[in-house]
Amino acid sequence: MPAEKVPDTPVEVLVDILTKAKEFAVNGNVPEELTIQLQKALDIASGLDDYLEKMTTQESEPLAELYKKTISHDWDQVHKEGKTMFRLPKECITGHVEGQTLKMLIHMSQAKRVLEIGMFTGYGALSMAEGLPEDGCLIACELEPYLKDFAQPIFNKSPHGRKITVKTGSAMDTLKELAAAGEQFDMVFIDADKDNYINYYNFILDNSLLRLQGVICVDNTLFKAKVYLKDATDSNGLALRKFNQFVCDDPRVEQVILPLRDGISVIRQVSGALSSKTQNKITDDEVFRGVKGRPILDRMRLDGKVAYVTGAGQGIGRAFAHALGEAGAKVAIVDLDQNKAQAVAEELHLKGIISIPIIADISKPDDVQSMVDDIVSKWGTVHIACNNAGINQNSASEDTSLEEWDQTFNVNLRGTFLCCQAAGRVMLKQGYGKIINTASMASLIVPHPQKQLSYNTSKAGVVKLTQTLGTEWIDRGVHVNCISPGIVDTPLIHSESLRPLVQRWLSDIPAGRLAQVTDLQAAVVYLACDASDYMTGHNLVIEGGQSLW
């Protein structure tokens, strides 16, 4: 006979009470209306958990297997055999809904490093690991070595299990080791001995184990309703009541308790919160609190900004479009090739980024003006102009035709000027704008052995155009800068005919490799954001050191 299920959450306690009340009502010959109302209350309470289970994203196969293994395990026998120090009720396992909630919190907080205090059989740890990026990690503190051995086979079956490191023994000893090593975490999940919740919490904050803007999640903070029932005498319930009040009164944090299963507290550290002990010891200025209260990474966000990128259908332009969109901007994908522009716009859409494709030849004034007009008509303005489109044709200088010269200059310099002017007029009118032009390392040195007179000269012109506009427009709120990439790794580079050139180029690059388009993404976001407000007319060179040799 399976043991009778013990009510574990406030809802389960309520269901238990209502069930008994209904039985009493039926057997006590009370008015039928009371029985009907009790049944309605019972249906609402008992149906909630079932509905949440059905509507929550299905758990992975390893998680389902781990849950089944935990529920079917004889934990009383394990304790009798001396394999664990404490009796471990199977109700302690993190449930499906709670596990998916933890995974969602990992995604929402963009956590990469997680600390778990109290692992039990590892369901919560594996749920959170599934939400971590490929290079993420989770350190789980677990008192019982038996539980590590219990969970590890399931971890090994999951592609996310490798992100989990289990440290057995005293959780406080592990916390001290992590603090001594200078470790920090984006999220901490506490689900351990309730009497020590306050001690764990204080140690984490006092020793900076939680990074700025990190989150602490604490399980069981409603504990079978015993944290708020006045007649409660349960020691765990009273310990959690004390913990909840302690956190509520702590000026260092903000807290909300979610009525999910047995309660999950989500606690956020308040940036720059001053206590009476610290307010006389710090300089309370923008360095401490951040410019307009925004820490540096927040200042690099582009939320609400409107951007366009020319030549965005491939290569560097495509990488720039993704970077600006990931930072929060709406992005117009401008290219000569409609299919390529549409494809990149669809890529951004799949990532939740608002974008539109625009077809334009930037060497034509009418196309450029239409491009800017279309963006303003669609989104109301232009904040960020990323003038990236360019072409390159190689020929010995004595053989360079006027046609090649004009074609190169029409796109690389004339087209960049036309875009700067059209976007600049919008920006000057509104008193704000960021223009980022793509120049080249060829503006600084003469790359060899390839011969590309028109390209080198046009890109030198882009730098001088940038410097001139940067000084002329800065006092009206418009910043103009450029990026000079080195030789960028593209599929064309790997063709048989260019293989000898690649080996020559690599010998000239201190970094020992070609640039990847992703090497340039942070630069365009920096130049587009508020953190670069004191930079103008600058040529930001990213070439692995090649121009220094």
The catalytic position among 146, 197, 308, 455 is 455
SS3 content of the chain, % helix, strand, coil (to 5): 50, 15, 30
Cβ–Cβ under 8 Å, residues 245 and 239: no
Query: What are the beta bridge partners of residue 113?
Result: 137
Residues near 491 by Cβ (< 8 Å), separated by ≥ 6?
none
CA separation for the pair 101, 208 (Å, rounded): 25
Instruction: Mark whether 228 is an active-site residue.
Output: no
Helix (H, G, I), strand (E, B) or coil at 110: coil
- Residue linked to tokens 């704000």: 432
Cβ–Cβ under 8 Å, residues 520 and 483: yes
- Residue linked to tokens 């992975």: 60
- Residue linked to tokens 């310099």: 413
Instruction: Give the number of other Cβ atoms within 10 Å of residue 322's Cβ.
Output: 22
- Residue linked to tokens 């299990």: 161
Omega before 449 cis (within 30°)?
yes
- Alpha helices of 290-361 — where are they, by DSSP H? 296-299, 315-326, 338-350
Q: Report CA Rg, the chain.
A: 31
Q: With CA atoms as reference, report the closest residue to 160 among 145, 140, 143.
A: 140
The string of DSSP letters for 263-277 reads: -EEEEEEPTT---TT
Per residue, what are the HEC states of 165-232?
EEEECCHHHHHHHHHHCCCCEEEEEECCCHHHHHHHHHHHHHCCCEEEEEEEEEECCCHHHCCCCCCC
Residues near 275 by Cβ (< 8 Å), separated by ≥ 6?
251, 252
Q: Tell me which residues are annotated as active site.
A: 455
